[in-house]
Structure 1
Amino acid sequence: MAFPGYDFAPHFTEIDGLRMHYVDEGQGETVVMLHGNPNWSYYYRNLVHRLKDRYRCLVPDHIGCGLSDKPGDDRYPFSLERRVSDLKAWLNHCGATENLTLVVHDWGGMIGMAFATEFPERIKRLVLLNTGGFHLPKTKGVPWQLKLARSPIGGLLVRGFNAFSRGAVRSCVTRNPMPKAVADAYCAPYNSWANRIAVHRFVQDIPLKPGDRGYELVTQVENRLERLKGIPMMIGWGDKDFVFDEHFLKEWLARFPEAELHRYPDCGHYILEDASSELIPMIDDFLSRHP
């Protein structure tokens, strides 16, 4: 199946019997791009095209997402801990072990920060795009959309009607509505009840209170974020994100006041779609200024 702007050769590695798909384009220093939910490596297509003439761009599809295998609960735990383990195994497979630039968005931030805070010596630069690396800020409530997706009828909405994916391609862009072909490409991997399992499990796996699966790991990552101080950091932020909003941004800036910040008041969660023409050149420039 062809997807607009996504003309990359497919690559696969096997992790515990499951195939993980990834993009591997270009040569040079490694830039690792981690997507969130409901998303896949397609989100980074334009950034890869911009950087691949000077950098090696590595972009995985998390298990259950994109072109990777979509196992049932009997074969995969769909936990944050396992996502981080997958990331380590995949990077080792790719031979990407040092001088890494991480570009993270949404759930990719929590997964990436878990890795970065464990191995800060491997990280050269950080680019944060509407994401988190800590618990829900105390000033932030749980958005109704997430509450609904986590409710007893969430499975029917998310997996039966694809409401989370279809809703995202409409509500997560507030400046530049997606062309139908692009919106369809975002949703294409999630074309059945079975294939939407990861979309639902990601929402269910958000740890909100002590005792929730993953809560202690998030606490550990939050406490280790100071290990990343001194690493060049850029933040690209869409202010109209209904989840990763000003509460999350304030938390990042309180921890990393020297981060280079680019805010877009009229843009939403899918910031690389909404502000593509501005933000992608700025990311390129940021990498160049921190060689």
Structure 2
Amino acid sequence: MRTATDRPHWPEYPFTSRWFEHAEARQHYLDEGSGPPVLMVHGNPAWSYVWRHLVTGLSDAYRCVVPDLLGMGLSGRPSTPLPRLLAGYQIAALDDLVRHLVDEHRAPDRGWTVVAHDWGGPIALAWACLNAEKVDRVVVLNTAVFRFPEQGLPPWWFRLLRLRAVSALAAHHTPAWAYGAARLGVTGPMPAEVRRAFTAPYRHRRDRAALARFIQDVPVTRADPGWSLLAVVERMLPALEQVPILVGWGMRDPVLRPPLADAWQRRFPHARVLRYPEAGHYVLEDARAELVPAIREFLATTPSDAETTSG
């Protein structure tokens, strides 16, 4: 079992590292604050650092559970080859972590809010659909859990990037994907020290295998590994039809483009969709001053089972 190196100090990330031992690798996660639980699931090539502003903005009133997906961030890199469909593997690992927190660390069995971004969307919402009795609220940020509408397909360069040889070069053998996302995923440049923190877990080739695998799994055609997963998740989505949903969308995302925000509204007419015209893919970086309070207000006005139980 190989794990990422112990972390140095990173700006705006004053949190305590916690660890859960899976059979394949050790998983890093944050467990900050107390109150109704909020589960935050990152995408690719991010890690728990992407949630730092939301954790800071909620942890005085909510219990923020923020894992690094296996093979990513500060979590261990499994020594065995990654599975063909990485998201399915991560859904099972996420379920193991939540069960561990409920059984061993007094997390409530119900009343969870699920917050997801990018590839964290299919992972977290699949878990939410499978555990709908546990989930009271959903927040999605620039992600898709259904097949791309024709007018919202990723740009040609991203479809080229999905080719195995290209993604292996750009995301595994070199840090181009991690470094490029930190620059192109925002509309306002990150401070240099924040950009270094974003990319810190992915500086070495041995730590980037999951980044390439996730790119290869993005489902655009039926031949893609992730197509079957999204087809299953789509069929499960009615489990969330009564769940309050907040959508926060950076409208200048170069890959997950504005028509996907409209698709969320069509899929869930009851959802509240917030569009941020000047924000990019990392909407919590570009629009955090507006989005963090909006998420907090959404949580405050849609009480969860955990709040009712604790009261």
Q: TM-score range by the shorter chain?
A: over 0.9
Alignment of 1:261 onto 2:268: no
Could you list the structure 1 runs, at least 4 aligned residues long, displaced by more than 6 angstroms after superposition: none
Tell me which amino acid in the other structure corresponds to 2:215.
Answer: V
Partner of 1:100: 112
Aligned residues: 290
* Cα deviation, residue 260, structure 1: 1.3
Partner of 2:207: 195
* Cα deviation, residue 75, structure 1: 6.2
Counterpart Cα distance in 1 of 2:80 and 2:147: 25
* Cα deviation, residue 246, structure 1: 1.7
Counterpart Cα distance in 1 of 2:79 and 2:166: 19
Secondary structure of the residue aligned to 2:178 is helix
* Cα deviation, residue 169, structure 1: 1.0
Alignment of 1:232 onto 2:239: no
Say if 1:200 and 1:150 are closer, same or farther in 2 by CA, change over 3 A.
Answer: same
Unaligned runs of 5+ in 2: 1-7, 304-311
Partner of 1:109: 121
Counterpart Cα distance in 2 of 1:164 and 1:72: 22
Partner of 1:157: 170
Say if 1:78 and 1:211 are closer, same or farther in 2 by CA, change over 3 A.
Answer: closer
Counterpart Cα distance in 2 of 1:9 and 1:76: 30
Counterpart Cα distance in 2 of 1:145 and 1:187: 22
Larger deviation: 182-191 or 217-226? Answer: 217-226
- The one of 13, 37, 40 equivalent to 2:47 is 40
Alignment of 1:4 onto 2:11: yes
CA contact (8 A) 1:81 1:214 kept: no
Larger deviation: 177-186 or 159-168? Answer: 159-168
* Cα deviation, residue 210, structure 1: 2.8
Partner of 1:284: 296
Question: What does residue range 1-291 of structure 1 map to in structure 2 within 5 Å?
Answer: 1-74=8-81, 79-95=86-102, 96=107, 97-151=109-163, 152-174=165-187, 176-291=188-303
Per the normalisation by structure 2, the TM-score is 0.89
Larger deviation: 41-50 or 141-150? Answer: 141-150
Tell me which amino acid in the other structure corresponds to 1:113.
Answer: L
Per the normalisation by structure 1, the TM-score is 0.95
Percent identity at matched positions?
A: 41
CA contact (8 A) 1:149 1:158 kept: no
Counterpart Cα distance in 2 of 1:144 and 1:162: 21
* Cα deviation, residue 112, structure 1: 1.0
Tell me which amino acid in the other structure corresponds to 2:248.
Answer: G
CA contact (8 A) 2:249 2:283 kept: yes
Secondary structure of the residue aligned to 1:234 is strand
